[in-house]
């Protein structure tokens, strides 16, 4: 039975989610772990150009799935009726990884690390009194005024990345194939 770990990195717009995902992915990679990522978005991605072969296969030919393959990369364009669950996406595409870092999907019941920056004037999403507060692993911030009953890491501190990745590994949701 294959298994992989999954954790969601959440935060408000422009809080630094992508920066943290890429830093954590690189850290896990350095430690010999295979890393997959899932990027959630509310916006239609602009990842193909009108008129290219793949665009034409998908849009003009109305293909259900299109795979674009090179020697180093594979991109799958796939039609769907509704948004998928990150655990289902992991099971379908990413089970060969040791850990999957999900950027977004903040409403799903995954273990979460929240990124909160001073420049984002809204309060953190984390609410210790909320029913789902146990899903939060930690908060990463550049604000000195935040203290919670979960680990709070500050970008200015040293060695927080190693500690955070160790906590993530221990508290990640484990997904198995049935």
pLDDT digits (tens, 9 = 90+) for 53-74: 888 898 889 888 988 888 998 8
Cβ-proximal residues to 44 (8 Å cutoff; 6+ apart), any chain: none
Tell whether 70 is covered by a domain: no
The percent of residues above 70 in pLDDT, for the chain, comes to 99
**What pLDDT sits at residue 1?**
65
Tell whether 91 is covered by a domain: yes
Beta strands in the chain (DSSP E): 3-11, 35-39, 65-69, 74-78, 99-103, 112-116, 136-141, 152-154, 173-176
Mean pLDDT of the 113-120 span: 92
Indicate the range of 71-85, 113-127, 140-154 predicted with least confidence: 71-85
Domain count, the chain: 1
Tell whether 150 is covered by a domain: yes
* Residue 99 token pair: 């850990």
Residue 30 to residue 8: CA distance in whole angstroms? 20
In which domain, by residue range, is 19 found?
A: 3-43+82-176
Strand partners, 101: 7, 37
Q: Supply the pTM of this predicted model.
A: 0.88
User: For the domain that residue 148 is a member of, what is the CATH number?
Assistant: 3.40.50.300
């Amino acid at each position: 039975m294959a298994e992989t770990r999954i954790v969601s990195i959440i935060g408000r717009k422009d809080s630094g989610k992508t920066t943290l995902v890429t830093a954590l992915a690189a850290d896990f990679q350095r430690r010999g772990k295979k890393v997959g990522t899932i990027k959630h978005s509310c916006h239609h991605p602009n990842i193909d150009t009108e008129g290219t072969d793949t665009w034409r296969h998908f849009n003009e030919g109305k293909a259900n799935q299109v795979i674009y393959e090179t020697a180093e990369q594979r991109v799958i364009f796939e039609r769907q009726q509704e948004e998928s669950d990150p655990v289902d996406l992991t099971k379908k595409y990413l089970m060969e990884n040791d850990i999957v870092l999900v950027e977004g999907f903040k409403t799903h019941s995954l273990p979460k690390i929240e990124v909160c920056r001073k420049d984002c004037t809204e309060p953190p999403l984390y609410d210790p009194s909320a029913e789902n507060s146990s899903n939060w692993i930690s908060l990463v911030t550049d604000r000195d005024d935040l203290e919670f009953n979960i680990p709070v890491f500050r970008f200015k501190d040293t060695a927080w990345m190693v500690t955070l990745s160790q906590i993530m590994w221990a508290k990640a949701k484990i997904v198995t194939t049935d």
